[in-house]
Structure 1
Amino acid sequence: MNTNVVEIAEDIFWVGGSDQEGGLHCNPYLLIDGDEAVLIDPGSVLDFDYVFENVCSIVPLAKIKYIVLHHQDPDLCASVPLFEQKGAVFEVVTHWRTQTIVKYYGIKSKYYSVNEHDFRLTLKSGRVLGFVQTPYLHFPGAIATYDYSSKTLFSSDLFGAFSYGWSLYAGEDYLEKMKTFHEHYMPSNDILRPVMEVFLGMDISMIAPQHGSIIRNNVTKYIKALRDLECGAFMAPLKKDLAKSGGYQLICSLVFKRYAAIFNKTEVLEAINDLDISFDQETLEISDYNYTGKVLWNLLFERFLARKGLQWLIVIEPFVKRLAEEYDISIPEVFITTLKRAEEEAVNLTNENVRLKEMNDKLNNSVREAQESLIKCPVTGLYNYQFFRNYLESELKDLLTEQFYQNPALILINTDNMAKIKFSYGDKEVDEVLKNIVYIINDLKDENTVLFRLQGASFACYLPHILKETAVEFAEKVRNEIAASNKFIEKITVSIGVISLEEIRDLDTYVNDPAEALYNIALMRVRLAKNMGMNIVCQSSSVETYQEELGRILVVDNDAMSIDVLKTFLESLNYQVFTANDGEQALEIAERQSLDLIISDVMIPKIDGFLVREKLLSQSHTKNIPFILISHLKNDDSVKRAMSLNIDHYLKKPFMLSELLGLVTNRVKGAAFL
């Protein structure tokens, strides 16, 4: 066993082992920063002995303050309880979706949810680790970690590889190994591409994946390779003409090269040494063969199966399927007959294996139940915000067409004084308040009304078919019952917004997205109810201009053209926009107006963008206004200063308006229930 640690960057160590069998090699990492150490993806139970030994050879166990878990799979996090048993005390840094699953490993440590900390972890020294969301690659809550100091991306499963000839650092053949891994495990290019585009916009000097090898040269090449990779069960590659592309000679050469990357060239040559083909022994490119193309295509894989075994078919199956799709040819017969036979043999289990299968089924059911819990609130048991938005979209999809006359209503309920409850009594009492609110609403609603838990202390009621007046009466009952209830530790009130589909039925603007319209109008009415003094049901407001009332944005820049572009762009989306040419003017507007967001350049006259943010933070009524910084200037010093001021986002000019729109939408619309 190789227990030698390797320093891959200053104070960043690979602490794995090199004797793992099979093609999937696991890489744990240790980052040391002064008196603190961060262990990243510590590994499985099988890895624990040598990972523990390697870690302790560098730092004492007490120095480990954080363990980062990028997703929930046992190969990277099942060893966490073993570190706990050795006496280590740390916080588990992960996404809330991962936290929901990994607790079933028996982890007892406290959790540091990246969702609740703006996807950042700041160490005592000021060193910042950023967390990039990589959803469904290959888990809904998957993340990657970026160390701003070393510019290292700890990428979890991304950039991993199958490698039967493993090396710590990626060699020239690593690209093909990496593609094979992603063809097996990643769902589709549609999901892979947006994350790769985020990585292309980052300053990354080294990629340290959980599997495979560390990429320290030309990282952009590997990012672009995954950005363009067709993968997943639903891939639809572009059709190519086989004859014009190089015929079976080409695709068989590609198979040779892929096998050589996954295993090694010597093993490939051993498998095909008696076939009647001519090829370059260095490049493995076929120059001639004495078969028909179809015969060669089938014969190759029969030979690999006979000489190397079933694993050689399994590992390359996604690649072969993609080639068959691209060139419109049949999948080699051996994949159909052999793999089918292997499946049939697996079904023909002994009695003991049947019992093992039943145990495994129970485990899978437990995992499915745990995954189902991801769409439910763990406190109230209600379906959560994301499920609610999907449900609302599904329900309203066809209701604005002429043949549907069903008239549903939506009620949004926001607790007025939950911040005080949390401050005075803590999170446990907040959970009790939420449970009691659900109890009261359930007692009042009928069986057709669906109740959801949204972000924060907010709820939604969907009433499938009801008169507007009746929906308002129900909302008033909810408001009065909650205000009069003695179930709470102190008096609780709610502000409520009510909207009926009939209000927008005749407005063509909303036909394409009635769910979004209904939700936003109800959200606006909740905010109006709060502005009118709280403990109020708001049932009316301007439907046509609801988006203007939802978003009040201040744009600060001394470049008149930049202001004009942003103002025109945001107003076209129905946001209300204020503008300022210097820092003093910006502060005056922030004093007078109730703003939802400020977008400011750094280099503005009189008071620069950083000082504007400082002055806003010094006042209670402006300190919580979300702040987006934009500038041609963006370097390490300016980023550090922005982070010290809790600036939400820092975009370098020129930026994409679509990116800014996403940030604006999240900060303005999403802020209402946070």
Structure 2
Amino acid sequence: MIKQEQIAEKPIKVQHLGPFVVDQTHAHNSYLILSDDADILVDVPPIQVFDLLKISLNKFIEINELTHMIIQQTHISSANVIIELIDEGFKGKILTNQYLARQIRNLNIPIEIICIEDAQYRMNIGKTMFMGFIPMMFLPIPQMFMTYLPTVQTLLSSTLFSSFYSKADASIDEIKKSLFQYHRLMMPSSDYIKPVLSRVNSLMIKQIFPAAGYLIQPDKIADIIEFESSLDFYNNAQVFKYGYEAKKETNYIEIINHMIVILQKHFSNIEILNTFVGTKLSLSNDTLVLKRSVLEGYKLWNAFFDHIYVKKGIMWLSILEPTVNKYYTDYEIEKPTVYRSLFTTMAMQVQNLGKAKSELEIHLEQLKNQVEKTKDQILRCPITKLFIESVLREILAQDLSIKQEKPQLRGMILVQLDQLNDINKKYGKDAGDEAIRNMAYQLYQVKDRETQLYKQAGPGII
């Protein structure tokens, strides 16, 4: 998170220039940042409204007094506008990303260009001006960024929060609708937006200034951020491309880049980058964008997931599976082989495990019943089926260890069968057992409900 610094100097002021209406649905916003140490123009409009930009600028500052220009995005006439500004006297520095810097340098104009990547995504100008730059990949082009001014809690959001423009007095619902239409048309997927919104939510923001469309009133910022977080779309122009003779082809490289963005939500960039080091998939060190591969088409698609499975196992595949399923459902993009083979095998294993689990539960229940039965057999006399004397001793020990609040009467009676040995000798052991069993039965018939019977270790019943 970009830390806010306490500045004792004259506060920074951000002046809105525009909206410069380009056509029936497009209006461009430029901004002028004014401070003691720097006067900065943020984002230039298309060439057809350049005169309107000059008029707006001249209300606050001369073009030759501008110290910097921040180019967060480009359009087809951006180069012409930059040249016009230089012809009008601009001698300052241009701040932009490496992607746009290469395009500007190709103009061979005598101007200093500073790349935000080289500046570690932050810059101090004098004592009063501190800026942070927030990457926003593929919104809609690679290496896009926003500018954050922490001292005034202001976000110059570029295409994020931008919208189409149809009338000046649009309601909040109309702005939301225009915002969704703009994002749906201009950006590859809502999945690319969510990581950037997460970063935005970590900042203290009182003002959001988008590059296109309607400004966002301060009291509506939370509502708009929540609305944008809820967007769910995917632009199928990124899914398919058209080759020779307009033949439709699946754009596997772009889809894989989408998968990498999803992985970035769960793992660090360095871990993802290291996963593909030495493979046939070449990722950008800075953005993790898949730039090239010797593989093409479905072979590339399969290789990406096969390598993930070998290096990272089932967890990474599980994270990507919902998105793979979405491509399969929405665009009929064939699932990688590893999903069709691995997950089919896993499904069968799960089914078999479920069956084995049921069988195991039945077996455990049988064992439990057997244990209870065996336990009962050990604790009971096999002849009378009464609990044996040791059980009584255990119960008495526990019962007598508990202090009673009121005196209670307890008693025991020992009933023994006389001449049991003589019966065993004269009539056999079975007759003696039957005599014991019969005595237990008779006692059971005459005892009350609270009286318990136990088999003595000898020829008696307690």
Q: What TM-score, normalized to structure 1?
A: 0.34
Larger Rg computed on CA atoms: 2
Greater RCO structure (CA 8 Å; 6+ sep): 2
TM-score (norm 2): 0.49
